[in-house]
Structure 1
Amino acid sequence: MAELLASRPGAATSHRKGTAPTAVLLVLALSTFAIVVMQSLVMPILPGLAKSLEVSMADVSWVVTVNLLSAAVFTPFLGSLGDALGRKRVLMMTLGLATAGSVLAAVSTTLPLVLAGRALQGMGFAAMPLAIGIVRSIFPPHRVPSSLALLSALTGIGAGAGLLISGVLVNAGMTAQGMFWISAAATATGLLGVATLIRLPERVNDFRVDVWGLLTLSGGLVCLVLGINRGPSWGWGSATVLGLFVGALVLLVACYLVEQRVSKPLIDMSMMRKPVVLGTNLTAFLTGAGMYGAFVLVIQFVQTPSRFGYGFGADALGAGLTLLPLTAGTLVAAAAVSMLIKHIGPKWPMVIGTVVATATFAFLLVLHTEHWHFYVATGLLGLGLGLAMGAMPTLLNSGVSPEQTSVANSVNQTLRSVGGSIGTAVATAILAANTSAGVPLPTIDGYTTSFVISGAICVLAIVAALAVPYRHRSNGETVVAIEESETEARPSELSLATAQRSGVSV
């Protein structure tokens, strides 16, 4: 009974006096959005950065890889640290590290120092799950679903927004170092806002670093992300890449075994095995794998000169503008998610989002001859991302206690990111395998095949979303489906598992 009471949003979610939810949400949104944008902001400026640092494109590509590796390693660890030591103080530390990383990258004239700065920036990805934990802790219950939807949706639009912002700044003559200064200013502003606006008295719980869990988890994620990210350049069949994938499998299995044997694990595997958590995480992974590959496909397609039989010859800014409807679609979806959660619960917006994403690729498979087709497609994709990812935190939180909020959402975010890396790698590999003779550009068949594969992955995401155990009551209350045997044995506890009428599920 105590566990069920602890998992109720109303049991731990109380509006702290002196807090201004709207101002706090704006600060958290700015902080998390700035960090997500950092990842894709560097894509269009890599050639200029390579020139200024006097290194090759192969070398400067590590600017992207190091950031991904750092995010994969530190997001679960900092999320767990926030649950134990206080989310506000760990969020401030995270934003401070990200700001320091941006400053270091901005002032550095050598690649190693820039890479160190990007590694610090990557630590900032833990800001999202920490922010979700803060919202769950201090916001009024009726504000929680819409706030979580907005924060989560920002991860979906960040990649497209980063490319658009970078395209605008490049056209305006902004250097790579100048963009790093802008990133530093954004996260520093977020840090100041968190320090002054969030009033969250926190006590330090007993925390012991799970060394073996940290080593096996971080090692496995490093091997997996590094293998995916460097596979196209090192060769998917090379001994190095295959060895990385084998190492990832061994270390992640070892992590699973280790975490079940320590008294205070980094990640509670019993929590991860809960059907609602497992199903939501699987959906997050497949959603990332299916949807994120679309960024590569759209950007490359619209930038291809039309003389090759397809494409529209767009420059970096034009390609970024093509993704603008994605931002609009995601924001519209985020605004609608809380209403949908209230009336039909968090599961069905997630299901609808994966269906819309599948429809996006079906649309592109049929219609891709006019530039406006891609504006429509990115708008649909944004709608799907906003619905699916906007509903995930509420659904995920329904299966974990408030004390596990940040670490649970950290794992979810990491799985989205890893899935996105896989989806992007798959799309890139398909395009690379279908090039025209004598022309270093993909054929139109390469794109249509990629649309089919990405759509098929989204179909799997639909299946995973439908399988999440859930029941919605006619009076607007939501509960997670409980095993029938448990329901019969503990009817009084089942009644305590009923959520707030605002739509926040247990």
Structure 2
Amino acid sequence: MSEKRSTHPTAVLLVLALSTFAIVVMQSLVLPILPGLATSLHVSMADVSWVVTVNLLSAAVFTPILGSLGDALGRKRVLMITLVLVTAGSVLAALSHTMWVVLIGRALQGMGFAAMPLAIGIVRSIFPAHRVPASLALLSALTGIGAGAGLLFSGLLTKADVTAQGMFWISAAATAIGLLGVAVLVRLTETTSKFTADVWGALTLAGGLVCIVLGINRGTAWGWGSGIILGLFAGGAALLALWGFVETRVRQPLVDMRMMRNPVVLGTNLTAFLAGAGMFGAFVLVLQFVQTPSQAGYGFGSDVLGAGLTLLPLTAGTLAAAALVATLIRRVGPRWPLAIGMFTAAGTFAYLAGFHAEHWEFYVASGLLGLGLGLAMGAMPALLNTSVAPEKTSVANSVNSTLRSVGGSIGTAIATAILASRTLPGVPLPTVDGYVIAFLVAGGICVLAVVAALLVPYRHGTTGTAGARGVEDIIQGAPRPAPAVS
């Protein structure tokens, strides 16, 4: 308990929030500046799109690996290493005018996605009991806030004539400040447990995720029915199956498969995957709709800054949800906020399918989507942590985060494919009906996420269940053994 008293929770939370927020922001910050980046690097738009793809591949591979290392070697140590790598990646991207060096920098930046589950583990380890639920909710909510904020910041900086390389310098400064704050303020005595590198587990997991994410993100460009895309999906599925087999055979697996088979963990991860597929595709739909010239019969002709401002209410909604979710977790447990959040998202897409003629309707939808996103993302770590031991916190949340990201990639691909299948005659723009269908599909996926959340076998306040013991441990900050897997 002395360790908890020696920390300054507000200061620690602020520095963890800054670090994770800056990393999420830098992922979407580059999207509006890709044309300028292509010009400065002297490459085509097809080539510069690898700046996004490489970042996503790196995130998918390294998030679970770094989360596992954090649990074994110390979360503060691994978080600091992660922030060093992310900062170095931003500096590389800022200094270089060579494509391959920028890609290395973006790969290093992608490792930063591991910062969120590592920060969740730190909060669970050292924060006072009454601060844990709200702190976890805020950190998780930053995932949604950062995606919209990155687009807004990019628009503001573009208006101020800041170059792409200048934006990378700003990213480097933000994560460097976060690194300094973690080093000074996070007072966490960590012991390194006996650790044996699970090389085959890491290779098979990395290979499988690379194949799946690469296939999803390059499917439109290379053709969904092409041999290379089908081969990537088949190879990815085979490697992930092999990874599951390897993890049950090694003495110290990268990811404990018994933990992953726990019904609460399994249900939460399924909900995370569906939440990513349903909600994260919304950013693409909303941004493209509001930027469509009104001459197409819909849209508002917004520029990058205007599109970013459309997502500004999402931040307010997410922060409101983060403030509310901790109280809900205490009273009814984390499963209901998760289900309510996904139900709110489903209702938002139904609203957009029926009301999209005025720009203000998208501001309303953005705020509602932020409310749903904040409730769902804030409840997930609390629900997940009810069934994992404290020493497995980071890797469990890392896998959850990876599944959410993969789901988001799939959701974006689905939305893009729907819009591409319905275009105006002679104009490379989607029809308004294409958007309506995409909104309804996204809403349908969110409904599936509601069902998945309600099926999670968690019972709040029931003595003797893993879920009841787990949420009390989160609130009270008490360590506990991992529950048995049925």
Q: CA deviation at 1:297?
A: 0.4
1:42 equivalent to 2:30? Answer: yes
The answer to whether the 8 A contact 1:92-1:194 is kept is yes
Structure 1 equivalent of residue 65 of structure 2: 77
The answer to whether the 8 A contact 2:7-2:187 is kept is yes
Cα distance in 1 for residues equivalent to 2:471 and 2:20: 31
The answer to whether the 8 A contact 1:290-1:420 is kept is yes
- Secondary structure of the 2:251 match is coil
Cα distance in 1 for residues equivalent to 2:296 and 2:468: 63
Q: How does 1:139-154 map to 2 (within 5 A)?
A: 139-154=127-142
Q: How does 1:284-363 map to 2 (within 5 A)?
A: 284-363=272-351
- Residue of structure 2 aligned with 1:436, choices 402, 413, 424: 424
| Structure 1: gaps spanning 5 or more residues | 1-12, 483-493
Structure 2 equivalent of residue 183 of structure 1: 171
The answer to whether the 8 A contact 1:353-1:386 is kept is yes
| Structure 2: gaps spanning 5 or more residues | 481-486
- Secondary structure of the 2:472 match is coil
- Residue of structure 2 aligned with 1:392, choices 367, 373, 380: 380
Structure 1 equivalent of residue 182 of structure 2: 194
Cα distance in 2 for residues equivalent to 1:479 and 1:363: 41
Structure 1 equivalent of residue 454 of structure 2: 466
The answer to whether the 8 A contact 2:382-2:471 is kept is no
Q: How does 1:221-232 map to 2 (within 5 A)?
A: 221-232=209-220
Structure 2 equivalent of residue 264 of structure 1: 252
- Secondary structure of the 1:499 match is helix
Further displaced range: 405-414 or 336-345: 336-345
TM-score of the aligned structures, taking structure 2 as reference length: 0.96
Q: How does 1:188-267 map to 2 (within 5 A)?
A: 188-267=176-255
Q: CA deviation at 1:18?
A: 1.8
Q: CA deviation at 1:16?
A: 2.1
The answer to whether the 8 A contact 1:431-1:447 is kept is yes
Q: CA deviation at 1:17?
A: 3.1
Question: 1:404 is matched by which residue type in structure 2?
Answer: K
Structure 1 equivalent of residue 75 of structure 2: 87
1:423 equivalent to 2:396? Answer: no
Structure 2 equivalent of residue 489 of structure 1: none
Q: CA deviation at 1:337?
A: 0.7
The answer to whether the 8 A contact 1:469-1:480 is kept is no
Cα distance in 2 for residues equivalent to 1:55 and 1:14: 56
Question: 2:279 is matched by which residue type in structure 1?
Answer: M
Q: How does 1:345-384 map to 2 (within 5 A)?
A: 345-384=333-372
1:56 equivalent to 2:44? Answer: yes
Q: CA deviation at 1:464?
A: 0.4
- Secondary structure of the 2:110 match is helix
Cα distance in 2 for residues equivalent to 1:430 and 1:479: 48
Structure 2 equivalent of residue 499 of structure 1: 472
Question: 2:453 is matched by which residue type in structure 1?
Answer: A
- Secondary structure of the 2:253 match is coil
Q: Give RMSD over aligned pairs.
A: 1.6
Cα distance in 1 for residues equivalent to 2:159 and 2:468: 59
From the superposition, tell whether residues 245 and 21 of structure 1 become closer, same or farther in structure 2 (CA, over 3 Å).
same
Q: CA deviation at 1:157?
A: 1.6
Q: CA deviation at 1:497?
A: 6.1
The answer to whether the 8 A contact 1:14-1:141 is kept is no
- Residue of structure 1 aligned with 2:4, choices 16, 19, 29: 16
The answer to whether the 8 A contact 2:23-2:175 is kept is yes
Cα distance in 2 for residues equivalent to 1:216 and 1:446: 38
Deviations 1:457-504 (A, max 9, x none): 00100000001111123xxxx77845xxxxxxxxxxx99667159487
1:101 equivalent to 2:89? Answer: yes
- Secondary structure of the 1:359 match is helix
Cα distance in 1 for residues equivalent to 2:105 and 2:397: 25
Cα distance in 2 for residues equivalent to 1:296 and 1:504: 39
Structure 2 equivalent of residue 6 of structure 1: none
The answer to whether the 8 A contact 1:65-1:226 is kept is yes
Cα distance in 1 for residues equivalent to 2:270 and 2:473: 26
Question: 1:56 is matched by which residue type in structure 2?
Answer: S
The answer to whether the 8 A contact 1:470-1:479 is kept is no
The answer to whether the 8 A contact 1:31-1:187 is kept is yes
From the superposition, tell whether residues 348 and 479 of structure 1 become closer, same or farther in structure 2 (CA, over 3 Å).
farther
Deviations 1:244-282 (A, max 9, x none): 000111001111111001110000000000011001110
Cα distance in 2 for residues equivalent to 1:176 and 1:496: 49
From the superposition, tell whether residues 442 and 89 of structure 1 become closer, same or farther in structure 2 (CA, over 3 Å).
same
Q: CA deviation at 1:158?
A: 1.4
Structure 1 equivalent of residue 484 of structure 2: none
The answer to whether the 8 A contact 2:262-2:387 is kept is yes
* Percent identical residues: 73
Cα distance in 1 for residues equivalent to 2:112 and 2:296: 41
- Secondary structure of the 1:155 match is helix
- Secondary structure of the 1:472 match is coil
The answer to whether the 8 A contact 1:145-1:504 is kept is no
From the superposition, tell whether residues 260 and 315 of structure 1 become closer, same or farther in structure 2 (CA, over 3 Å).
same
The answer to whether the 8 A contact 2:128-2:477 is kept is no
- Secondary structure of the 1:471 match is coil
For these two proteins, the number of residue pairs brought into alignment is 479
